[in-house]
Structure formats: C-alpha cells, structure tokens
Amino acid sequence: MDEELRRRNVRTALWLAATAIAVFVMFIVRYGMSSQ
C-alpha cells in the first residue's frame, strides 16, 4: 500500500471514529444529563 493511500485511509478512519465518539458523548451529556 503506498504512503499516500495509507494516509488517506487513516484520515477517513479518524473522521469516522471521531463521529462515533461524538455520538456517544452527545447522547450521554445531552439526554442522560437531562434526567439528572
């Protein structure tokens, strides 16, 4: 796998992982805290 493709893959994966983490945090903070 060439270096440019590797970097592109890592960039895509980081965006997707950030999305997943953001959803997790958002649901706990926004909806979970509303009942505290």
Partner 1 sequence: MAAIPGGADHSHDHSHDHHPSGLMRWVTTTNHKDIGSMYLWFSFAMFIVGGIMALVIRAELFQPGLQVVDPDRFNQMTTLHGLIMVFGAIMPAFVGFANWMLPLMIGASDMAFARMNNWSFWLLPPAAILLTGSLLVPGGAAASGWTLYPPLTVQMGIGMDMAIFAVHILGISSIMGSINIVTTILNMRAPGMTLMKMPLFCWTWLITAYLVIAVMPVLAGAVTMILTDRHFGTSFFNAAGGGDPVLYQHIFWFFGHPEVYIIAIPAFGVVSQVIPAFSRKPLFGYASMVYATSSIAILSFIVWAHHMYTVGMPVAGQLYFMFATMLIAVPTGVKVFNWVATMWRGSLTFETPMLFSIGFLFLFTLGGFSGLVLSMTAVDVQLHDSYYVVAHFHYVMVAGALFSAYAGAYYWLPKWTGHMYDEKLGKLHFWLSLIFFNMTFFVQHFLGLAGMPRRIPDYSLQFAEFNKISSIGAFGFGLSQLVFLVVVLKCLKGGEKASAKPWDGAEGLEWTVPSPAPHHTFEVPPVVK
Q: Note whether 2 binds partner 1 by CB under 8 A.
A: no
**Contacts (Cβ under 8 Å, ≥6 apart) of 1:** 9
Chain centroid to CA 26? 11
Q: Note whether 5 binds partner 1 by CB under 8 A.
A: yes
23 vs 36: CA distance, rounded Å: 19
Q: Note whether 3 binds partner 1 by CB under 8 A.
A: no
Q: Note whether 36 binds partner 1 by CB under 8 A.
A: yes
**3-class DSSP assignment, residue 35:** coil
| Min dist. Cβ of residue 1 to partner 1 (A) | 8
Binding site for partner 1 (CB under 8 A): 1, 5, 8-9, 12-13, 16-17, 19-21, 23-24, 27-28, 31-32, 34-36
